[in-house]
Structure 1
Amino acid sequence: MWIFFTLLAAFMQAWRNAFQSQLSKEVSVAGVTLARFIWAWPIAGGYLIGLYLWQSVALPVFTVEFVLYIIGASVMQILATALLVKLFKLKNFAVGAGLAKSEALVAAVLGLCIFGTQLSVLGWIGVSIGGVAVFMMSSRQGLRDISLSTALIGLTCGSAFALTSLWVREASLSLSLPFPHRAAWVLLLVISLQTLILLGYIIVKERATLAGLWQRPRQTILISSTSCLGSVGWFSAMSLQAVPYVKTLGQVEVFFTLFIAMFWLKERVKIKDMLALILIALAAILVMWS
């Protein structure tokens, strides 16, 4: 089941990134980041209500530890999304999204050091191969000409996403509920807090950005809806399986990303990026096999 949720998340996230890439040409970084959350919380709320109608369980008990995980995950995901939009402005859509996938390797290292997450040898090999593939995608002209600034932003973005995922999993596991309910509670609380934080910032600093989003309702709703559906997949998968496995398999998102880039956005993709895709596929196979 975690494989199904991960594939759902990867597919939806690829489309969300594509819509964000387009909106980033017209709206500020903060505005594109807000578009990810502003209409997502009603969808998340409806999903949670639907779960309770399907299977009535007890309401959760929120501990201080749980609240801290929610706050940390919310802030890190805002930062990660802002950096991802920055990557879209520095490089093309496909490469920018590919760089952000460094989170799988970072999640494996941080998970081991902070949360004691254990991976099999085959799992580590798969995660490492995925990291090499991401490194290849950060170069402009192959390994002879690495863009260090872009690679650094990509690594920082991936690290922020990794911390988000690890804290989301810990928050979910701290609730004594069935996995879909606890994942849905975490999703709703994270998205709601993110919406409040970004709305507060934009009202104070960039009021014109709200008008920009209001004038582009179709793009904003598409970003929010695909983001929320993707988060349902990620949060559910991470409630069932360790983050490094989920995120390494989630690198198949790059396949969807390149398909969208080539056939919908009409972007050119280099041969080395195709080779990186093959490595990502190998990494995903090793992780599922392990």
Structure 2
Amino acid sequence: MSWVFFTVLAAFSQSWRNAFQSRLSKELNVVGVTLARFLWAGPLAAAYLVLLHWYQPTSLPIFSNQSYFFIIGASVMQIVATGLMVVLFKQKNFAIGAGLAKSEAPVSAFLGVLFFGTSLSLLGWVGVFIGAIAVFMLSCPNGIRSISLKTALIGLACSTSFALTSLWVREASLTLDVPFPHRAAWVLFSVIFLQTVMLVLFMLFRDRQTLKAMFIKPKLVLMTSIASFVGSLGWFSAMSLQTVPLVKTLGQIEVFFTILISFFWLKEGVKRKDMLALFFIAIAAILVMW
């Protein structure tokens, strides 16, 4: 049941990372907010990997062509997903933006079963669908007409990108011939390192002004990177131990943390329907853990 601990840790950290990114989106463009997620997370991932090998010595992994494919694919897709989430924050308020992106769980279930050999029990499927209903309630606070077609399509693209990222991260972890948690740590470092290099190079050639702005107010950027690193550590570890749909369905408890942050820190209102959605998320979490 270690995957449950890592998932809860990831959900808590990711809710804070989303909150920090929501604040940054008011000061930086989409690329800058996306880079803030990875900028300082790379050194933290490297330090974690070194400490892990020092504490539990093991052989170095052998990366196959499949490993490289999954790592590169996950790196690119997570950048796309993060950028789309920032666009969502600009479309609606913070809670709704995070809610739309959390439809990742049912999307990953369908993609996993169709293309990645994932199998779910009946209880698992029920949990995924109940979680999907909760996400729908959060994404449509005033009914389905409250969300434009453009916002819905961006939300679907965002959740699909996150789902592919998660599925490829798990596949990359399974290709490495080292024990847990080393294989999760290697995938974590590889993905974050590659993402940081790609985004920094892009901004050096296309948007140096935003890159400089990130170092003028480094506190929020640093907090975003730290929350992102802890969240990714939790997700990557959990997905090395358990199938993605179950991890992501349990991970919907992030919405609980998101609503608390939205209410107490961002000063946004919480509706009664949100509380009912949290109840459904709790049921979904119990089912997938069962």
User: TM-score w.r.t. structure 1 length?
Assistant: 0.97
Unaligned runs of 5+ in 1: none
1:272 Cα deviation after fit: 2.1
Match of 1:253 in 2: 254
Q: Distance in 1 between matches of 2:240 and 2:286?
A: 21
Matches within 5 A, 1:11-90: 11-90=12-91
Cα offset, 1:132, TM superposition: 1.5
Supply the distance in 1 between the matched residues of 2:132 and 2:205 (Cα, whole angstroms): 39
Give the superposition deviation at 1:117.
Answer: 0.3
SS of 1:233 mapped into structure 2: helix
CA shift digits 1:56-80 (9 cap, x unpaired) = 1000101011000000000000000
Find the counterpart in structure 2 of residue 231 from structure 1. 232
- Corresponding position of 2:100: 99
- Describe how 1:264-275 pairs up with structure 2 within 5 A: 264-275=265-276
Is the 2:24–2:33 Cα contact (8 Å) retained in structure 1? Answer: yes
Letter of the aligned partner of 2:179 in structure 1?
A: P
Aligned position for 1:134: 135
Answer yes or no: is the 8 Å Cα contact 1:138–1:147 preserved in 2.
no
Contact (CA 8 Å) 1:140, 1:147: kept in 2 or not?
Answer: no
Unaligned runs of 5+ in 2: none
Structure 1 counterpart SS, 2:46:
helix
Q: CA deviation at 1:163?
A: 0.3
Percent identity, aligned pairs only, is 64
Question: Shift of residue 147 of structure 1?
Answer: 3.0
For residues 270-281 of structure 1, what are the structure 2 equivalents within 5 Å? 270-281=271-282
- SS state at 2:63 partner: coil
User: 8 Å contact 2:105–2:163 — kept in the other structure?
Assistant: yes
The one-character-per-residue Cα deviations of 1:188-216 (angstroms, maximum 9, x if unpaired) are: 00000000111111112111101110111
- The SS at the match of 1:36 is helix
Q: Is the 8 A contact 2:141 2:273 kept in 1?
A: no
The separation in 2 between residues aligned to 1:250 and 1:124, in whole angstroms, is 15
Contact 1:100 1:155 in 2 (8 A): yes
Residues 267-276 or 14-23, more deviating = 267-276
Q: Distance in 1 between matches of 2:182 and 2:223?
A: 25
Amino acid of the structure 1 residue aligned with 2:272:
I
Instruction: String of CA shifts for 1:86-145, please: whole Å, max 9, x gaps.
Output: 111111111111111111000000000001100001100110111122122222512454
Matched, 1:187 2:172: no
Q: Which residue of the partner structure matches residue 159 of structure 1?
A: 160
AA of the residue aligned to 1:58: S
Structure 1 distance, partners of 2:137, 2:204, is 40
- The Cα offsets for residues 184-243 of structure 1, whole Å up to 9 and x where unpaired, read as 000000000000111111112111101110111100110001100111100000000000
Give the letter for the 2:189 counterpart.
Answer: L
Q: For 2:175 and 2:86, how far apart are their aligned partners in 1? A: 32
Q: Which runs of 4+ in 1 moved over 4 A?
A: none
Following superposition, the deviation at residue 150 of structure 1 comes to 1.6
Indicate the RMSD between aligned Cα atoms, in angstroms: 1.0
